[in-house]
Structure formats: C-alpha cells, structure tokens
Amino acid sequence: MHQHIDTLTIGTSGQGLYEFTRQARGFVASSGIRTGLLTVYVRHTSCSLLIQENADDDVKTDLGGFFRRLVPEGMDWLVHTTEGPDDMPAHIKAALTQTSIGIPVADGRPVFGTWQGIYLFEHRHRPHRREVVLHLIGEE
C-alpha cells in the first residue's frame, strides 16, 4: 500500500466555480496507483468543493445564482460583518457545500461519472489563492 500527498494552489478572481478535474486526474495518473482512494480537501472556510456537471456552463451560472439568492449579502441580522458584506455569506455557503470529498480510484483513474467535474467553489469577491490538499492511498 502506498500514499501520495500534494497541495494544489488555485488562484480565484471572484465568486464562481473553478474546475480542477484535470489536475486531480493528473495527480492520480502520475502516482502509479491503480486502485485506491483520492481525498480532496480545501483549507479554507469561505470557499468550498463541489462535484458537478461539466458539460454545460449554464449549470455553473445557475448554481451561483441559486446560492446568491439563498444566502444574499445584506441580511440585516448578521453580527459577523467586520470582514466585508460577502464574508459571512461565504461561510454559510461553505457550510452548505463540502470541505472534503473522497473519490475511489479504479484502473488508475478517479471514478468520476461521464459528466462529473470537480470544482473549487469561491464565495468571495476579491482574488484569493486557495490551497487544496490531494491525498491518495492505494496499490500500484
């Protein structure tokens, strides 16, 4: 049994979904692991992870539109407002999605479905550098 661990840095420029499926596949391919478990973990609390359809960009637009409506800026009952109007909504959106996702690996590839992609879901407006840890355990 072997392990591999790496950190991916993703630059973001505002709210939205940033795909890193290719990098996740590359990490698994270069490890030589054929059967195992890939864990993807984001080290922040104002962005999150999501597996979603990567066939039609409109899906990304609508996901952003839904979360913006569900957790709008300017909710007047919020008390944590010192870091800007998008900060507390960002924490809430992160709580509603994922910080960590585990993906089995078979035949040397993550078992993503045909239309699945993996995304960093940025909830802040300003540019950020986000760290995503990739961990892989399995057999060659």
- The residues that touch a second copy, with contacts defined as CB under 8 A, are 1, 3, 5, 35-37, 39, 41-46, 50-53, 56, 58-59, 61-63, 65-66, 69-71, 75, 77-80, 82, 88, 91-92, 94-104, 106, 111-116, 131, 133, 135, 137-139
- Which residue lies nearer to a second copy by CB, 26 or 62? 62
16 or 37: CB nearest a second copy? 37
- Shortest CB 14 distance to a second copy, Å: 19
The Cα–Cα gap between 131 and 53 comes to 22
Nearer to a second copy, 30 or 66 (CB): 66
Angle at 28 between CA 140 and CA 55, to 5 degrees: 140
Residue 131 neighbours by CB under 8 Å, 6+ apart? 7, 8, 9, 10, 42, 43, 44
Alpha carbon of residue 44 to chain centroid: 10
Minimal distance, residue 13 CB to a second copy, in Å: 20
Nearer to a second copy, 66 or 126 (CB): 66
In the complex, least distance from residue 107 CB atom to a second copy, rounded to whole angstroms: 10
Burial readout 104-123 (b: 16 or more C-beta within 10 A, e: otherwise)? ebeebebeeeeeebbbbbbb
